[in-house]
Amino acid sequence: MTPVLCVNDVSASLRYYVDQLGFAVSWEWSDADAFDAPDHPTFACVLRGEVALFLCEQGQGHPGSWNCLNVCTRTELDDLHREYRDRGARIVQPPTDEPWGMCEMVVEDLDGNTFRMGVPLDE
């Protein structure tokens, strides 16, 4: 499954996903008829490990979606937190042990799309 995230500006989102969240751009597409700018991407795919996300400019949903991503170990979650902190990502909540049996970190993109990343406490 590949989530489609609605963003206000694909170019700005691509920079954030690459520079702050450590993704790589897989591909970009421009709708020159709609935006009269053939070099301005309006749809793109970013990848990090086995996670792929589509970014759609001002369409296909609404900014502010929530997404849950489970990582393998607490050490990997802590490493990811340090990486995101060092890259200047928008960390809403650092890794926190939750009463429902997960350790979770919450991160946002430029448009309020939220990623809840966690690992079971009994890993």
Q: What is this structure's pTM?
A: 0.90
CATH number attached to the domain at 4-57: 3.10.180.10
- The residues spanned by each domain of the chain are 4-57, 66-120
What is the average pLDDT score of the chain? 93
Report the alpha-carbon distance of residue 115 to residue 23 in Å, rounded.
14
The structure tokens listed for 2 are 């590949």
CB neighbours of 20 closer than 8 A, spacing ≥ 6? 84, 87, 88, 89, 90
What per-residue confidence (pLDDT) applies to 75?
95
Identify whether the C-beta of residue 29 lies closer than 8 Å to the C-beta of residue 38: no
Return the CATH architecture of domain 66-120: 2-Layer Sandwich (3.30)
Q: Work out the pLDDT band at 40, boundaries 50, 70, 90.
A: confident
